[in-house]
Amino acid sequence: MIPVRGFDGAIVAVLGLGRSGLSAARALREGGARVVVWDDTTAARERAEAEGFEARRLDREEAFDDVACLVTSPGIPHLYPQPNTAIAAALRAGVPVDNDIGLFFRSLGHGWDSYDQPPKVVAVTGSNGKSTTSALIHHILSASGRDSQLAGNIGRGVLDIDPPGDGGVVVLELSSYQTDLARSLTPDVAVFTNFSADHLDRHAGLGGYFAAKRRLFAEGGPDRAVIGVDEIEGAYLAGQLSEGRADDRVIRVASGQKLSGPGWYVFARKGFLSEWRKGRQVASIDLRDIAGLPGAHNHQNACAAFAACRSLGLGPREIEAALRTFTGLPHRSQRVGEAKGVTYVNDSKATNVDSALKALLAFPKVRWVCGGLMKEGGLEALQPGLAHVSRAYVIGREPESFALQLVDTDVEICGDMATAVARAAADAEPGEVVLLAPAAASFDQYDNFEKRGEDFIACVEAELAKE
């Protein structure tokens, strides 16, 4: 646990008692704060009370008369589309609002004066690939013998980790919900994977979404920034952070295009990762036969992870060796079975159009299981990947409306996962991939994308058992 510093003897309120909220309450108490809590769910409040926390309603301004700070969970809106009533009450009362990420950064460095090598924090954000990139950085560090912990939006809550030891590294995956509110953001290395439209209602549009991501780089001023520049937002961010073309504090990353100049670049083209510094190539890795990193989108993730680990002093060959032992993450380009020349891949995490497009482009012939709760913007951006689709098998509560947007694509309305997988398995020919890449949220039929992916896996296993 990382005890929260700066609130010894003060009252701090915690709103939302899920994983991050309850973890924050414990860490605050460990640091000497008196903690009051609230969650709209009775069971969550009862769990907190069983641990000795005082429950207090927080939807009125007077509830904050003696409160020094309100700590809120990332899923609770603090500004758009409208603030939660408790957060609005805190703001009216003039009480600062923070989250567990802000508490983590303000508290992490306690006791480091005795270390020979201060620990480092690598923070990863972006629209897609955050989890894979974060897990890959952690895997490379661990495989290279470095003390590493993975936390944030993946793995453990940030305040649940052990205090890092001498020279240790903490790798954080951070969503826009987390970076948008944190009052302290001071990573040593910050990574921006890529950018595409997502969570637009929460951030009041594309500009607000980008601003939330940008805070990780603008607020804390990382020593090194790894920036994916395939989109204009990334190129703009890299330009803002750089003092000139040769400024190697910014490592520019790309997939599908060559980068050149006097700076520091890592890019992937035709399946090869290349590192260039000061106008010459210094390393190259063949990514094509690395099973855990299929497709151009995973090559982009590999470039970002490579760059982050190089900035921490690791050599190209030890990074390459670790890449070859990476097995990938559940629900992200996860190979779950193969029979009669047909491969089954679970990419349930492809909840938006951009990530689904990248999944489609990773395979030449696809039996595509798709559909769910559509996000803003429609499906038009999927068009470049539809040429890879032999047939789309649409699930969800309103599959017809989803299917209508798949212009010039062979579509079968299935409704549920079992029907979609059964029909795709029956139709698939050797060399094809049955791919779950929904291009939609899961909440119309599932609690989360993990449950959707688990259902896909169960349905695939049931089909394979018939062989």
The CATH number covering residue 227 comes to 3.40.1190.10
d(CA 173, CA 182): 14
Indicate if the pLDDT at residue 154 is higher than 90. no
Mean pLDDT of the region 380-406: 95
Mean pLDDT of the chain: 95
In the chain, what percentage of residues exceed pLDDT 70? Answer: 100
pLDDT at residue 329, rounded to an integer: 84
Q: Where are the beta strands (DSSP E) in 139-200?
A: 148-152, 169-173, 189-192
pLDDT at residue 321, rounded to an integer: 97
Q: Determine whether the annotation assigns residue 132 to a binding site.
A: yes
Mean pLDDT of the region 46-68: 97
Q: Please provide the distance, in angstroms rounded to a whole number, between the alpha carbons at the two ends of the chain.
A: 49
Mean pLDDT of the region 408-437: 97
Mean pLDDT of the region 250-277: 96
Indicate if the pLDDT at residue 291 is higher than 90. no
Q: Determine whether the annotation assigns residue 193 to a binding site.
A: no
For 458, the enclosing helix (H) or strand (E) is helix 449-465
Within a domain: 232: yes
Asked if residue 359 and residue 414 are part of one domain, the reply reads yes
For β-strands 67-72 and 54-55, DSSP reports them as: unpaired
Q: Determine whether the annotation assigns residue 126 to a binding site.
A: yes
For 170, the enclosing helix (H) or strand (E) is strand 169-173
Per DSSP, what are the bridge partners of residue 269? 272
CATH number (domain holding residue 417) = 3.90.190.20
Mean pLDDT of the region 192-209: 93
Question: Dihedral angle at the C-alpha atoms of 137, 142, 147, 151, nearest 10 degrees?
Answer: 50
pLDDT single digits (tens) 207-243: 999 999 999 999 878 999 999 999 999 999 999 999 9
Retrieve residue 223's tokens: 């020593």
Within a domain: 3: no
Indicate if the pLDDT at residue 420 is higher than 90. yes
Asked if residue 417 and residue 303 are part of one domain, the reply reads no
d(CA 316, CA 321): 9
Nearest CA among 232, 264, 438 for reference residue 351: 438
Indicate if the pLDDT at residue 423 is higher than 90. yes
Asked if residue 169 and residue 61 are part of one domain, the reply reads no
Asked if residue 164 and residue 262 are part of one domain, the reply reads yes
Asked if residue 263 and residue 114 are part of one domain, the reply reads yes
Asked if residue 311 and residue 348 are part of one domain, the reply reads no
pLDDT at residue 59, rounded to an integer: 95
Q: Where are the beta strands (DSSP E) in 2-62?
A: 11-15, 34-38, 54-55
Quick one: how far is CA 372 from the chain centroid? 20
123 vs 374, higher pLDDT: 123
Indicate if the pLDDT at residue 104 is higher than 90. yes
Q: Determine whether the annotation assigns residue 377 to a binding site.
A: no
Indicate if the pLDDT at residue 163 is higher than 90. yes
Nearest CA among 144, 138, 94 for reference residue 120: 138
| The last residue of a domain, from among 65, 80, 98 | 98
296 vs 281, higher pLDDT: 281
Q: Determine whether the annotation assigns residue 130 to a binding site.
A: yes
Residues 6+ apart with CB under 8 A from 339: 464, 467
Within a domain: 140: yes
d(CA 304, CA 124): 9
Q: Determine whether the annotation assigns residue 352 to a binding site.
A: no
* Tally of domains in the chain: 3
pLDDT at residue 219, rounded to an integer: 87
Quick one: how far is CA 99 from the chain centroid? 17
Within a domain: 223: yes
Asked if residue 212 and residue 130 are part of one domain, the reply reads yes
CA angle 187, 191, 194 (to 5 degrees): 150
Residues 6+ apart with CB under 8 A from 317: none
CATH number (domain holding residue 90) = 3.40.50.720
Within a domain: 1: no
Indicate if the pLDDT at residue 382 is higher than 90. yes
Residues 6+ apart with CB under 8 A from 62: none
| Cβ contact 353:374 at 8 Å | no
| Cβ contact 122:189 at 8 Å | yes
Residue 244's domain comprises 103-323
pLDDT at residue 124, rounded to an integer: 98
Backbone φ/ψ region at 368: left (φ over 0), alpha (ψ -120 to 50), beta: beta
| The last residue of a domain, from among 303, 323, 343 | 323
Indicate if the pLDDT at residue 323 is higher than 80. yes
Indicate if the pLDDT at residue 181 is higher than 80. yes
For β-strands 342-346 and 334-339, DSSP reports them as: antiparallel
Asked if residue 147 and residue 116 are part of one domain, the reply reads yes
Asked if residue 378 and residue 455 are part of one domain, the reply reads yes
| The last residue of a domain, from among 257, 290, 323 | 323
Q: Determine whether the annotation assigns residue 155 to a binding site.
A: no
Within a domain: 398: yes
Within a domain: 225: yes
Neighbours of 367 (CB within 10 A): 26
pLDDT band at 327 (very low <50, low <70, confident <90, very high): confident
81: preceding bond cis by omega (within 30 degrees): yes
pLDDT at residue 113, rounded to an integer: 85
Mean pLDDT of the region 415-427: 97
Asked if residue 361 and residue 269 are part of one domain, the reply reads no
Q: Provide the H-helix boundaries in 121-205.
A: 130-143, 176-181, 200-203
Within a domain: 329: no
Asked if residue 148 and residue 15 are part of one domain, the reply reads no
Asked if residue 108 and residue 15 are part of one domain, the reply reads no
- How many residues make up the chain in this entry? 467
